[in-house]
Amino acid sequence: MAKEIKVPQIGDGVESATVSEVLVAEGDKIEKDQSVIAVESDKASVEVPSSAAGTIKEIKISEGDEVEVGQVIILLEESDDDDDDETEEDNGEASEEEKEKENTSEEENENEDEDSGEKQSGKKKKKIKEENPEDNDEEPEEDDADENKDEKKSSKKDESEADKTSEEKENKKSGESSGESSTGAGIQASPGTRRLARELGVDLTELAEEISGRVSEKDVKEFAKKDSQKSTRSASISLPDFEKWGSVERKPLNNIRKATAKNVTASWQSVPHVFQFDEADITDIQQYLEVNQDKAEKAGGKLTITALLTKIVASALVRFPKFNASIDMENEEMILKNYVNIGIAVATEKGLLVPVIKDADKKSIIEIATELTNIAEKARDGKLSKEDMEGANFSISNLGGIGGTNFTPIVPAFQVAILGISRSAKKPVYIDDEFKPREILPLSLSYDHRLIDGADGAAFINWITQALEDPYKALLGA
């Protein structure tokens, strides 16, 4: 009789999920608690185990199907071992009945041989003959015992062979369920490694071509890291024939655009972004900029909100060192840096460039303003060197000169946060029992949730907001 394998309770409040992968195939022999399908819901991604051992008769679902808790997903022909167990139980019950009959016979035949062992032996032999009238020769009890021993040895041998091939079967099932998919047919890898490969989008077939032997979780992580650096997912998307709808013109991407596309794609794929927003009242700080503009111009620069924010952010990075760090997932470490280098995004005709202000925490606002003016000119003239664009720990992107109320910048590679600045605007602010016109600056903070939590992000942007509203806060390092 076929046994039904159903979807168990996946998680609290989860009533349905989508089948992301079928890990077995019809005809496969599986063990109890062996994973048969993988499902994904809005709360979890798990593998569903079989509630029994046996041979798969029918798979009632396929990848992409929506399944509910309690739904039948597989029909299973239970293994012979289970049937043997049931037979043994039946034999046990029959044996108990025989014993009762034998005890009754013993009481009725008290005058016979007192050796109970001989009586039982004789009765058993007699019973065997009665049940098997075709058998003319009696078999001694030793033969029965030998047969039981042989059966046990055969059973143990079968179990041993099953243990040896269980891993191969698991790999085969995962491969057969997806053909030439990312699970990789016939590749030696544990279920945990296969699950990690699915989560990171790693094709085990491609990975197996680069290594020999069993694939480990470390191999998957290293391959995912290299894959994200050498290519983008967009490259694998097949474009339609746009000429069907009209004439087109193709232009090659310049090197800056190629690098930008590669870097932002890698960052977006590997960094779990969180976005934090705030507004700063910069009415008073604008007066500060106007009063000190002459000093900056004499030094060869221009005092701007970007220059002031660079100094404020530098002070913030000293106070909040995790924002001045990088995360090393391969070694599971946080790299804290004892220097403060800030990248400043500059728009050019060829694309976005990000020159770096080195040791920003040790420079004055006037020094930063002068350096910003110089590197911005070099960027627009295409004269930035490789050294000018290396070593940033944090970045600032100011779109205020172009427009917009808010945006969500992508965290650059090897950094954990970036601050976006939008166009300021006059807004009525309730102060001293009345509304007053104030210049309000929108701020957007993007950060890497692997290292920075929401409370950290809120504290960081809150400190920057307060420093903008009180310039002396940043100057004094308070």
Considering just the CA atoms, what is the radius of gyration of the chain in Å?
37
Query: pLDDT at position 338, please?
Result: 96
449 catalytic? Reply is yes
Whether 440 and 383 share a structural domain: yes
Q: How many CB atoms lie within 10 A of CB 385?
A: 9
- In the predicted model, what is the mean pLDDT of residues 72-87? 66
User: CA-CA distance, 70 to 17, in Å (whole number)?
Assistant: 12
Query: pLDDT at position 73, please?
Result: 92
Could you tell me if 396 and 356 are in contact, meaning their C-beta atoms sit under 8 angstroms apart? no
Residue ending a domain, among 63, 89, 115, is: 89
Determine what percent of the chain is predicted with pLDDT higher than 70: 71
Instruction: Kindly state whether residue 313 falls inside one of the protein's structural domains.
Output: yes
Instruction: Kindly state whether residue 243 falls inside one of the protein's structural domains.
Output: no
Q: Phi and psi for 342 in degrees, rounded to 5?
A: -120, 125
- pLDDT per residue as tens digits for the range 366-386: 999 999 999 989 888 888 888
Whether 80 and 202 share a structural domain: no
Could you tell me if 416 and 325 are in contact, meaning their C-beta atoms sit under 8 angstroms apart? yes
Dig out the tokens for 333 from the structure. 């470490």
For residue 67, the number of C-alpha atoms closer than 13 Å in the C-beta half-sphere is 29
Q: What is the CATH number of the domain that holds 70?
A: 2.40.50.100
Helix (H) or strand (E) holding 16: strand 16-22
**The model's pTM:** 0.54
Domain that holds residue 38: 1-89
Whether 210 and 302 share a structural domain: no
Could you tell me if 114 and 85 are in contact, meaning their C-beta atoms sit under 8 angstroms apart? no
Whether 302 and 418 share a structural domain: yes
Given 106, 449, 466, 475, the catalytic residue: 449
Whether 225 and 359 share a structural domain: no
CA 78 to chain centre: 35
Instruction: Kindly state whether residue 160 falls inside one of the protein's structural domains.
Output: no
Q: What is the CATH number of the domain that holds 455?
A: 3.30.559.10
Instruction: Kindly state whether residue 101 falls inside one of the protein's structural domains.
Output: no
* Tally of structural domains, the chain: 3
Angle at 177 between CA 173 and CA 181, to 5 degrees: 110
For residue 353, the number of C-alpha atoms closer than 13 Å in the C-beta half-sphere is 24
User: CA-CA distance, 45 to 38, in Å (whole number)?
Assistant: 7
- Contacts of residue 441, Cβ cutoff 8 Å, sequence gap at least 6: 279, 280, 281, 282, 305, 400, 421, 422, 424, 468
Residue ending a domain, among 179, 212, 231, is: 231
Residue ending a domain, among 179, 203, 231, is: 231
Instruction: Kindly state whether residue 383 falls inside one of the protein's structural domains.
Output: yes
Whether 207 and 303 share a structural domain: no
Residue with the larger pLDDT of the pair 42 and 278: 278
Could you tell me if 300 and 455 are in contact, meaning their C-beta atoms sit under 8 angstroms apart? no
- pLDDT per residue as tens digits for the range 63-72: 888 888 889 9
Asked if residue 13 has pLDDT above 80, the reply is no
Whether 222 and 339 share a structural domain: no
Q: What would the 3-class secondary structure string for 56-115 be?
A: EEEECCCCCCEEECCCEEEEEEECHHHHHHHHHHHHHHHHHHHHHHHHHHHHHCCCCCCC
Which of 74-83, 189-198, 247-256, 364-373 has the highest mean predicted lDDT (pLDDT)?
A: 364-373
Whether 377 and 306 share a structural domain: yes
Instruction: Kindly state whether residue 98 falls inside one of the protein's structural domains.
Output: no
Whether 327 and 395 share a structural domain: yes
